[in-house]
Chains A and B, each alone.
Chain A
Amino acid sequence: DADVTQTPRNRITKTGKRIMLECSQTKGHDRMYWYRQDPGLGLRLIYYSFDVKDINKGEISDGYSVSRQAQAKFSLSLESAIPNQTALYFCATSDISGTSYNEQFFGPGTRLTVL
């Protein structure tokens, strides 16, 4: 079974709709992240969470919100989707212990299209 899962894998929606992307992990990591990937721009950080009570904005948080429901679950919401939020979205996790410090483990991605 995959360590980091994302649902849905693909989603097409219309402008103005509310969308939630979900991420679950079985790695037992405290830190979770949401990124978006656009062609030619690499990955950009949207939000990150160090634990259930700690949520932080990343580079491009405008238009997005998140919820850390449990250590293993981190959801990303688009309150009112717009076409320029069409992108590939990745969830990632990391652990601060030992030699894995800062190494991030990625989910398979959610491809979101906003019409």
Chain B
Amino acid sequence: AQSVTQPDIHITVSEGASLELRCNYSYGATPYLFWYVQSPGQGLQLLLKYFSGDTLVQGIKGFEAEFKRSQSSFNLRKPSVHWSDAAEYFCAVGAIGAGSYQLTFGKGTKLSVIP
């Protein structure tokens, strides 16, 4: 079974600073990987996804993530954080194959942004 670890429960950065949120996964084959963002009081919005191909994927709102198979990681990055990026971020891994259905989510990283 797959699993996801987000080592950082809460991160605080200053507006304009760079950001990296860590995600490590466990899965026996090539995974589908996702980052979702949840703003306060809102549902989950997909930021980006990785299925195959280029290991550096671009998402919405200026975010990117890099798939590193050797490290079983899919870290989310943004070069310059805006106050509106304050939210909770969830990494998820999905299984591949006929009949596969499940996304397994990490426990989330809450991002606070200092003006």
Q: Total interface residues on B, using CB and 8 Å? A: 23
Structural contact, A109 and B43, CB atoms closer than 8 A: yes
Question: With A and B bound together, what is the CA distance between A49 and B42 in angstroms?
Answer: 24
Question: With A and B bound together, what is the CA distance between A42 and B96 in angstroms?
Answer: 22
B35-94 contacts to A, CB under 8 A, are 36, 42-46, 49, 51, 90, 94
Enumerate chain A residues within 8 angstroms of B94, measured Cβ to Cβ.
Answer: 101-102
Residue of A nearest to B36 (CB): A106
User: Which of B34, B51, B103 has the largest number of chain A CB atoms within 10 A?
Assistant: B103
Structural contact, A101 and B43, CB atoms closer than 8 A: no
Q: Does any Cβ of B come within 8 Å of A104's Cβ? A: yes
Residue of B nearest to A44 (CB): B105
Are A102 and B43 CB-contacts (below 8 A) given A40-B9, A42-B108?
no
Majority secondary structure, A binding face: strand
Are A106 and B44 CB-contacts (below 8 A) given A48-B101, A101-B32?
yes
Structural contact, B100 and A102, CB atoms closer than 8 A: yes
Q: Total interface residues on A, using CB and 8 Å? A: 23
Structural contact, A31 and B9, CB atoms closer than 8 A: no
Residue of B nearest to A104 (CB): B103
Residue of B nearest to A90 (CB): B43
Option from A42, A56, A103, A107 in Cβ contact (under 8 Å) with B43: A107
A49-97 contacts to B, CB under 8 A, are 50, 56, 58, 90, 94
Question: With A and B bound together, what is the CA distance between A110 and B22 in angstroms?
Answer: 28
Interface residues in chain A, defined as those with a beta carbon under 8 Å from any beta carbon in chain B: 31, 40-45, 48, 50, 56, 58, 90, 94, 99, 101-109
Cβ-closest 5 pairs across A and B:
A102-B94, A42-B107, A106-B44, A108-B43, A43-B105
